[in-house]
Copies of this chain bind each other. A is one copy, B any other.
Amino acid sequence: MTGTVALNGEVRRLEELRLGDFLQSFFFGAGFFETFLIEEGAPRFLERHLTRLQASLTAHEGSVRAPPAQALTPNAVRESLRQCLAADAGLGPRFTGVGKLVAGDGHLLLTFRPLPPHHEASLREGLALEHLEERGYRRGDPLARHKSVSYLRQYAHLGRGTVFANELGELCEAPNGNLFFLLDDALVTPPVEAPCLPGIIRAVLLEERRWTDKPIEERTVRREHVEHAHGCILTNSVSLALPIPRLFGRALPHSAELARSVRALVEARARLEA
C-alpha cells in the first residue's frame, strides 16, 4: 500500500493515522469497504461503489458509525482522489492501480495500491477453482450482502481456489468475486440470497441481459448444474472478469474466451459511466 491516503477528504500520510481513531473497525469489524479500479487516474464505477457503501451504512445505522455525508459523494471522493494523486509523485495524476475506501468509526479512508503482481498474466491464465467449502455460508444471510471488514472468512480462503456453497449445496461465490457459469442455455450467476455479495461487475452484466446469443440470468446453481458447464468466470472490480480454466477437476476451455469478451463489454460500460 502507498503512504498517501485521504481521511474524510483530507490528504494525509498513512503513518500519521492513529489506531485509536478506528477502534470499532479494529475491535469489532464494524466497517465496510469498497475496492475499485483506477485507470489513468479515473476511478471505475465509482457511483455504484458509493451507492453500495451507503446502503451498507444505512442498513447498520445503529452499529457502524458512518462518515460525514459530504465525504461520501462521488464528487468528494473524486476530488480527494485527485488531490492524493497530485500530492504523491509515486502515484501521479495518471495512476493506474487499485483504490480502497473504508467507512467506519465516523471516517472515510481512501487508500491506494498498485495492481497485483503479474496482473496481465493472471487475467490470461485465471485461477483454478477446485475446493468446495460448504460449512460456513447460510442461505439468505443478510450480512453476506455487505462488504464488511469482518472479512476473515473470505480472507482465509484467498488464493486457495475456493467456491463457497450454502447448506442446500447451492454455489454462492468465490472469496474474491462473483461467479458466472456458461451453461447450455444461459450465462448464469447465483442469486444474492445464495448468499453472495451484490458485486458491481455482476450488476453490470445482469443489466446487459445478453452475452452473444444467450441470456445472462440469476439462477440457483448446484454443483451438478456445473458438471456440463462450458466456461466459468470470476468477476470483481479489479480483474473485471477472470477466467476459471478448471472447476472441480474439469477443464473449461471456453473460460478464457468468455473472460476476454466479458471484460471488453464491462470496459465499454465503464467508459460510458466515466
Chain B residues near A140 (CB, 8 Å)? 135
A255 within 8 A of B: no
Tell me which of A83-91, A142-150, A266-274 binds B.
Answer: A142-150
**What number of copies of this chain does the assembly contain?**
2
Q: A26-B22, A151-B28, A156-B63 are in contact. Are A143 and B136 (CB under 8 A)?
A: yes
Whether A257 sits at the interface, judged by CB under 8 Å, is: no
- Asked if A27 and B150 make an inter-chain contact with CB atoms under 8 angstroms apart, the answer reads no
Residues of B close to A136: CB separation below 8 A: 138, 141-143
Q: Which of B17, B141, B149, B153 contacts A135 (CB 8 A)?
A: B141
A1 in contact (CB, < 8 A): yes
Query: Once the chains are docked, how many angstroms separate the CA of A167 from the CA of B62?
Result: 26
Task: State whether A29 touches B149 (Cβ < 8 A).
Answer: yes
The interface size of chain A toward B, counting residues with CB under 8 Å, comes to 43
Cβ contacts under 8 Å, A62 to chain B: 156
Residues in chain B near residue A167, CB distance under 8 A: 138-139, 167
- Give the 6 A-B CB pairs with smallest separation, nearest first: A150-B150, A150-B152, A17-B19, A63-B156, A28-B155, A29-B29
Pairs across A and B, CB under 8 Å, 12 listed: A26-B26, A26-B102, A29-B148, A29-B152, A30-B151, A136-B138, A136-B141, A137-B138, A139-B167, A148-B152, A149-B150, A150-B153
